[in-house]
Chain A
Amino acid sequence: ETGVTQSPTHLIKTRGQQVTLRCSSQSGHNTVSWYQQALGQGPQFIFQYYREEENGRGNFPPRFSGLQFPNYSSELNVNALELDDSALYLCASSWGDRSYEQYFGPGTRLTVT
């Protein structure tokens, strides 16, 4: 186990709704990266938070937003949910503003109907 925890485990939402996913990083890690993994695909980088600020973003629209708190835990918020947002959302923690040695949590399975 990596020590990275995510909640909830599973979530079902309706198109147009908003969702908040949570991640607690591994002890000693100050960086959290979020990834989206569609079924049968590799994870796709959404964004990274380092020292409570966004530190890089992948090719995702602004309705994907996030926060990092002083204890380095993080939230991913998705507004105006679309059916294609159905995926496994993974957070990974690491130390520093580089992505070396990222350790993943178990993920949150989001289903949008």
Chain B
Amino acid sequence: GESVGLHLPTLSVQEGDNSIINCAYSNSASDYFIWYKQESGKGPQFIIDIRSNMDKRQGQRVTVLLNKTVKHLSLQIAATQPGDSAVYFCAENIGGNNRLAFGKGNQVVVIP
């Protein structure tokens, strides 16, 4: 499949280590955030979401942290596996609007 992650910031991580992917969002009115994972040749896959009235949410091996003061979102992946290699996008929903605005994406490369 074609490469999704041309010229994207790249995080190389050893298998088994934890990964942290960061995202800065632009609009203080954003009230809902999603992290998506996109593998080469595929559509974005929903990972985890968080609403603006929360600052932390945990899923299976993933944690999302939201800092509204500095408009920063992060995704932590515990015990990174080769299958986690992909491009990760954060997306924001602005004040009940009906669209998602995506960030540029971060490429994660897991080294076996």
Q: Which residues of A contact B (CB under 8 A)?
A: 2, 4, 33, 39-45, 48, 50, 55-56, 58, 88, 90, 92, 97-107, 109
A32 to B72, CA, bound (A): 28
Q: Which residue of A lies closest to B42 (CB)?
A: A106
Please name all residues of chain B whose beta carbon is closer than 8 Å to the beta carbon of A101 when the two chains form the complex.
34, 46, 49
Given contacts A40-B7, A56-B97, A104-B44, 10 further A-B pairs with CB under 8 A are A2-B46, A33-B98, A40-B4, A40-B5, A40-B8, A42-B91, A42-B102, A56-B98, A58-B99, A104-B45
A2 to B100, CA, bound (A): 18
Please name all residues of chain A whose beta carbon is closer than 8 Å to the beta carbon of B97 when the two chains form the complex.
56, 99
Q: Which residue of A lies closest to B105 (CB)?
A: A42
Our pick among A4, A42, A99, A109 for the contact of B104 (Cβ within 8 Å) is A42
Closest 8 CB pairs of A and B: A42-B102, A40-B6, A104-B43, A45-B99, A56-B98, A104-B44, A106-B43, A107-B43
Interface SS majority for chain B: loop
Please name all residues of chain B whose beta carbon is closer than 8 Å to the beta carbon of A107 when the two chains form the complex.
42-43
A43 to B49, CA, bound (A): 17
Please name all residues of chain A whose beta carbon is closer than 8 Å to the beta carbon of B25 when the two chains form the complex.
none
Nearest-neighbour CB distance to chain B for A27, whole angstroms, equals 16
**Residues 1-37 of chain B: 1 if any A CB is under 8 Å from the residue's CB, otherwise 0?**
0111111100000000000000000000000101010
B interface residues, how many (CB within 8 angstroms): 30
A-B contact pairs, 17 of them (CB 8 A): A2-B46, A39-B2, A40-B8, A42-B89, A42-B91, A42-B105, A45-B99, A92-B100, A97-B98, A99-B99, A100-B32, A100-B49, A101-B46, A102-B34, A104-B43, A104-B44, A109-B2
Contact B102–A33 (Cβ < 8 Å): no
Contact B102–A102 (Cβ < 8 Å): no
Contact B93–A99 (Cβ < 8 Å): yes
Contact A33–B99 (Cβ < 8 Å): yes
A105 to B38, CA, bound (A): 11
Please name all residues of chain A whose beta carbon is closer than 8 Å to the beta carbon of B7 when the two chains form the complex.
40
Please name all residues of chain A whose beta carbon is closer than 8 Å to the beta carbon of B32 when the two chains form the complex.
100
